[in-house]
């Protein structure tokens, strides 16, 4: 699996001190990774229904992955789409003995 990491390039505030809208741009080449889903569940709140999926990703120890980075999609080595949609790195990236592990949140 491969994931192109995108990082917010805007870290400034407007004239009233509010953060400007994020502008995500790719950094480096797509990183080798492994993305999986631990579980998914449906939440019903009145007339609204939402699917919540617990997704995680593993990266090599030297990978440049940070909290709040985004992944537009996950592909295989040939570029075939495996996991569609935008994913956001949620919370700090955890360093394990042999890899980095990140919790992912689907955006949209």
- The CATH number of whichever domain residue 62 belongs to comes to 2.40.10.370
pLDDT tens profile 40-96: 778 888 888 877 778 999 999 999 999 999 999 999 999 999 999 899 999 999 999
pTM of the model: 0.81
Name the more confident of 6 and 49.
6
Residue 108 has pLDDT above 70, yes or no: no
Max CA distance (Å), the chain? 46
- Which residue from 60, 59, 82, 61 is spatially nearest to 72, judged by alpha carbons? 82
Token couple for 5: 């990491």
* Amino acid 66: pLDDT: 95
What is the average pLDDT across 8-36? 91
Q: How far is CA 88 from CA 63, 69, 71, 80, 101, in A?
A: 16, 6, 6, 20, 13
Q: Which domain holds residue 85?
A: 2-11+20-107
* Amino acid 14: pLDDT: 86
Residue 107 has pLDDT above 80, yes or no: no
Residue 5 has pLDDT above 70, yes or no: yes
Give CA–CA dist 25/7, Å, rounded. 6
Number of folded domains that form the chain: 1
């Amino acid at each position: 699996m491969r994931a192109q990491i995108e990082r917010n390039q805007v870290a400034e505030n407007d004239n009233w001190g509010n953060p400007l809208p994020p502008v995500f741009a790719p950094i480096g080449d797509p990183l080798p990774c492994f993305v999986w889903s631990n579980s998914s569940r449906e939440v019903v709140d009145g007339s609204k229904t939402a699917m919540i999926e617990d997704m995680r990703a593993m990266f090599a120890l030297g990978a440049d992955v940070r909290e709040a980075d985004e992944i537009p999609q996950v592909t295989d080595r040939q570029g075939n789409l495996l996991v569609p949609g935008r994913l956001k790195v949620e919370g700090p990236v955890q360093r394990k003995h042999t890899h980095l592990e990140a919790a992912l949140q689907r955006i949209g």
